[in-house]
Structure 1
Amino acid sequence: MDFTLTEEQVLIRESLSKAFQTDYDFDKRRAVLEDAATFHSPAMWSTIAESGFTGLLAPEDSDGFGGGAAELMVVAEELARHLSLEPFLSSAVMAVRLLDLASDATERTLRMPGLLSGEQPGAVALYEPGERYAMENVATTAVETGEGWRLNGAKAVVIGADAAAWIAVSAKLEGDDVDIFVVETDANGVKRNPYRLVDGRGAADLELKDVVVPLSARLTSGGDAVAILSEVEDWAVLTMAAESLGAMECAKDLTLEYLKTRQQFGQPIGSFQVLQHDMANILSEVEYARSMVYWAAAAMAGDDPITRRHTISGAKAYIDKAARFVAEKTVQMHGGVGVTDEYALSHYVKRLTLTQILFGDRDEHLTRFLETA
């Protein structure tokens, strides 16, 4: 299989890189991190949307790009290189894929334009408090009333929910069937508790108390909600894998440059054999991780959900191991400067720390890998 980027994919990467270099340098990002009110740059999010990246995975009949896993891999890697805080993962990946998989044409026509414009970002709540990564364990309830559906329950660590106009949540109906509902974040009874994740991105815990949504807010029926959410999660895991690769690449490059310029005993520390060996091991881990990302991206094009999950989890388990190794070694080789907030390496390490636990840590994905073998 040929994994060489196509001319179109190269143009996608170059276009996104140029946008960040123009509007979003490291100092501007640090200023965003100091803002307690907004967890991302609205200006940069508008640039991402205006450049068409919010429609990367949206079908062409919804005015999207119609891209797939390969294009997502390219974009996610580049976003990590620039330490993006914008809600691309939650809205342009998870919400877009959910609408495409779960909703009928009417609901898709209603909500997709807001996702593509960036003006009405969405989010998808996968997990509930105390359930870790078991999205099939749903205690949130949905009861049909004369007004529509009444929802009660809670969701935990909803990525991008801090900025979302609407959130898709799973809820249990009478008879224990689970379906997916769209909840407007400004609806009565919705309480969001927003916070920053370790890498600075926004998330929120969600409380639903007697939240009434219209009948049309129900996106699924027939018991396929968990399967749809599983596929959405797989897209999110692929995004995390590609982000890990981008962050590892940048951590590696910063460390290599540091070894060339940092002097000790009258010579660059990169001349010391033990550090050369460590650098070679870092390079090997990054290249192995790249192969795993390609493997995962190829699996997303398949039709078999078991094979897809097996591959995605196997790749994520390995990439998490590589991410931890690269993060630890690059900090060790820098010394104290490697963990200072003023130096970019510490921010890449935070990104790698988050990607190791978001949507399943290494133990979780090793378990899934074995269960789907």
Structure 2
Amino acid sequence: MSDKVKSEAQMTETMVDEVNAVVLPEPGEASAVVPLETASPEVREEIRSRMDEIDMSDTNSIVSFGSAAQGELQEISQAMLTGVRNKDVGPAGDGLRDIVATIRGFSISELDVRRDRSWWEKLLGKTAPFAKFTARYEEVQAQIDRITDNLLKHEHVLLKDIKSLDLLYDKTLQFYDELALYIAAGEEKLKQLDTVDIPAKDTQVQAADENDQVMRAQELRDLRAARDDLERRVHDLKLTRQVTMQSLPSIRLVQENDKSLVTKINSTLVNTVPLWETQLAQAVTLQRSAEAAAAVRDANDLTNDLLTANAKNLRDSNTMIRNEMERGVFDIEAVKQANADLVATIQESLQIADEGKARRAAAETELKKMENELRDTLASAKSRGDGRGDTTGTSVPKSA
């Protein structure tokens, strides 16, 4: 809730207390219809002044008898209805329901900051749980600010209506009392007509001559018709007074409902909404703390894993290094193998040398043999005395 709305709500709280402190008067015995003969001098004067408004020869004065008392009341009612539209019915209650629906839509239990996004959420590009959580909080905060602002406006309208209803109740109560005076005046006038005016007019008809008797009889009939109209008008005023008496508790009931609603709205704005906002802020903080705790836990787990891995690596490395340190420059087995290989190599070399020497000796013998054979062949060819053989034979040098 914004600071402006909060400040206005606190200022309105004083107005709500003032409105609730107003006590409206109830109709008492003074509002009863009092006959003229038993009325106090002041009331008797009021009744006589209203009797003077009746002109039995003027039908309009009879029909409109008592209507002047309702004029001011009608003006107040019309002023209250000015600007009222059907859409304005019940907006404050709707605002309260909207706040409840908004808060209930914020479900913390559905949030798990530790879980990874599902493949479906990744496919749709949905945000991570905590990012979604904070975005939801910001959305709820904006909705609460908007609803509380509307509630404050409705609260001002309801306060205005309550004050108007106070005025309407006072004027209705005055109208109720005024109707009692008009009814008393009408009944007194009817009584006067029945006991004085109509009998007097009847006497005039009886005493009139034949030429004037028809006119006097018509006047008597008109007077009796006017009397009946007045009686009906007085009856209507009695019905109106009864309805007016019923409207007084109706006004009080509507006003009490408005007062209760204003009190509820003010309590919601001043107490409930800040409490909700505090709880929501705590929820966000708790989630952030949970996320931080998870990060710390992961760091601790990583540290423990590193310590364990390093200890194992140290042990393995130490074992390998110590083993290498305790070894000689050459392993005895390697030396023995190398010595055996060397001896075998020397023996093989000697054997190969002997074999090579034997092969060279054999080859030399063969070479000598082949040389002797060639020489003998060439000698045989020379003894035959052919020129080719001589040339060929002499071309081979003699052996020493």
Same fold (TM > 0.5): no
Q: Looking at secondary structure, tell me which structure has more helix per residue.
A: 2
Q: Select the structure of larger CA radius of gyration.
A: 2
TM bucket, shorter chain: under 0.3
